[in-house]
């Protein structure tokens, strides 16, 4: 199979591209290598992909929010499916930089939908987010729950992406699958995420900011479990059979949660990081930040039933793997 992967230099995009190449697939990777976090990490991920012997990797440094540039770059390049992971990430950053989210997550998503329509793409898988659930009191979070009350612009753009995808599945019968990711972590992760920040601070004997005084729970999901789910979804496009799909669509459009189905208290997560680092954290207890949520908890029954998805990695295993990678990457 030949797959177009957007955000290929990102955390999940890099891991997915590795996995696709490992099974012999060809990948066209797109990324604009923006400076939201240190582009050196993104360049390192691309360099890592270039060293893989199996499959094939064709990297295009471009911004998919530029539709003429996107079309021109892909002229003469065929692909069977799209996995659209590229986006402006980050809940808190969206409060200060809303225009970046509209450009990347709304304009950019529309461009990918138009590309899929023009090419007659067999399946378009796209990244949504657990953030769409906001402060839902129904736990665990089900894909059949209404998500009409986002608490950040980032979450609102991801919900909008789901709605646009539903429209294209309905109008053009494009097979679409949206994936609501839950707190992904692991080697090659993102510096703006709590695990990276905590690890760096603990190893440098600096304090860590613990929001809501530590009274938070997250459904931490290890990167390998995420990728297993993404590939299972990619290989099984939703049927255009009029039957209701997860998320409620009767068009060829499914929405799945991909999480660990095991929310962990923030305090326990920090305990595991401390043990992996071999030293205690200096905890700076703070109130809840605007746009943040108290708990994320994935109901994964839909993807379990349809595709056999079964995450296997606990934070007791996954966090030490990340800390070991972090030490290696930074030569500590």
Q: What is the per-residue pLDDT for 96?
A: 87
Q: Which range (232-236, 259-263, 278-282, 294-298) has the least confidence?
A: 294-298
Catalytic residue, chosen from 93, 101, 133, 154, is 154
Q: What is the per-residue pLDDT for 176?
A: 98
**Sign of the four-CA dihedral 43, 190, 233, 88:** negative
Q: What is the per-residue pLDDT for 207?
A: 97
Give the total number of structural domains in the chain. Answer: 1
Any domain includes 162 = yes
Any domain includes 192 = no
Any domain includes 30 = yes
Give me the domain span that covers residue 153.
Answer: 2-184+222-261+296-312
Q: Are 182 and 229 in contact (CB under 8 A)?
A: no
Supply 27's token pair. Answer: 């990948």
Any domain includes 213 = no
Active site residue 133: no
Whole-model pTM: value is: 0.96
- Cα–Cα distance measured from residue 70 to residue 62, given in angstroms and rounded to the nearest whole number: 7
Q: Where are the beta strands (DSSP E) in 262-322?
A: 264-265, 282-285
240-293 pLDDT, tens digit per residue, is 999 999 999 999 999 999 999 999 999 999 999 999 999 999 999 999 888 778
| CA dist list (Å): 230 to 2, 197, 307 | 15, 26, 10
Any domain includes 307 = yes
Q: What is the CATH number of the domain that holds 26?
A: 3.40.50.720
43-74 pLDDT, tens digit per residue, is 999 999 988 888 799 999 999 999 999 999 99
Any domain includes 317 = no
Any domain includes 144 = yes
């Amino acid at each position: 199979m030949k797959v177009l992967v957007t955000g290929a230099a990102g955390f999940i995009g890099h891991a997915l591209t590795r996995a696709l190449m490992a099974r012999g697939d060809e990948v066209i990777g797109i990324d604009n290598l923006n400076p939201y976090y240190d582009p050196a990490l993104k360049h390192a991920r691309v360099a890592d992909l270039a060293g893989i012997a199996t499959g094939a990797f064709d990297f295009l440094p471009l911004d998919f929010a530029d539709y003429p540039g996107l079309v021109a770059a892909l002229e003469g390049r065929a692909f069977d499916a799209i996995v659209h992971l590229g986006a402006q990430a980050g809940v808190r950053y969206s409060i200060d930089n809303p225009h970046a989210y509209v450009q990347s997550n709304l304009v950019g998503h529309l461009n990918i939908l138009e590309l899929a329509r023009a090419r007659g793409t067999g399946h378009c898988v796209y990244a949504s987010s657990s953030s769409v659930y906001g402060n839902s009191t129904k736990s665990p979070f089900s894909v059949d729950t209404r998500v009409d009350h986002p608490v950040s612009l980032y979450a609102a753009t991801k919900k909008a992406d789901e709605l646009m995808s539903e429209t294209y599945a309905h109008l053009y019968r494009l097979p679409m699958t949206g994936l609501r990711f839950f707190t992904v972590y692991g080697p090659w992760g993102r510096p703006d995420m709590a695990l990276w920040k905590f690890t760096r601070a603990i190893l440098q004997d600096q304090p860590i900011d613990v929001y809501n005084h530590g009274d938070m729970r997250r459904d931490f999901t290890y990167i390998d479990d995420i990728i297993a789910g993404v590939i299972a979804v990619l290989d099984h496009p939703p049927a255009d059979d009029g039957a209701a799909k997860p998320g409620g669509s009767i068009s060829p459009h499914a929405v799945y949660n991909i999480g660990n189905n095991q929310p962990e208290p923030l305090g326990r997560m920090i305990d595991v990081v401390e043990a992996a680092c071999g030293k205690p954290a200096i905890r700076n207890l703070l109130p809840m930040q605007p746009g943040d949520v108290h708990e994320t908890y994935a109901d994964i029954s839909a993807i379990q039933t349809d595709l056999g998805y079964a995450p296997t990695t606990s934070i007791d295993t996954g966090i030490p793997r990340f800390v070991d990678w972090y030490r290696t990457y930074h030569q500590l």
